Chain A
Amino acid sequence: EVQLLESGGGLVQPGGSLRLSCTASEFTFSNYAMTWVRQAPGKGLEWVSAISGRSDNIYYGDSVKGRFRISRDNSKNTLYLQMNSLRAEDTAVYYCAKVRSNFLTDAFDIWGQGTMVTVSS
Chain B
Amino acid sequence: SYVLTQPPSVSVAPGKTARITCGGNDVGDKSVHWYQQRPGQAPVLVIYYDSGRPSGIPERFSGSNSGNTATLTIYRVEAGDEADYYCQVWDSDSDHLVFGGGTLLTVL
Give the docked Cα–Cα distance between A74 and B54 (Å): 26
Q: Does B97 contact A (CB under 8 A)?
A: yes
- CB-based contact A111/B44 at 8 Å: yes
**Closest-CB distance, A26 to chain B (whole angstroms):** 16
- CB neighbours of A114 from chain B (8 A): 42
Nearest chain A residue, comparing its CB with the CB of B49: A107
For chain A, the bracket of interface size reads 20 to 34
Give the docked Cα–Cα distance between A107 and B1 (Å): 20
Nearest chain B residue, comparing its CB with the CB of A113: B42
What total of chain B residues lie within 8 Å of the partner, measured CB to CB?
25
Which of A62, A95, A109 meets B45, CB within 8 Å? A109
Q: Does B14 contact A (CB under 8 A)?
A: no
- CB-based contact B45/A107 at 8 Å: yes
Q: Which chain B residues in 1-55 approach chain A with CB under 8 Å?
A: 1, 31, 33, 35, 37, 42-45, 48-49, 54
* Contacts from B to A (Cβ < 8 Å): 1, 31, 33, 35, 37, 42-45, 48-49, 54, 84, 86, 88, 90, 92, 95-102
* Contacts from A to B (Cβ < 8 Å): 35, 37, 44-47, 50, 59, 61-62, 95, 97, 100, 104-109, 111-114
Complex A-B, nearest 10 residue pairs according to Cβ-Cβ distance, in ascending order: A107-B48, A107-B33, A47-B97, A111-B42, A44-B102, A105-B90, A45-B99, A109-B45, A44-B101, A59-B95
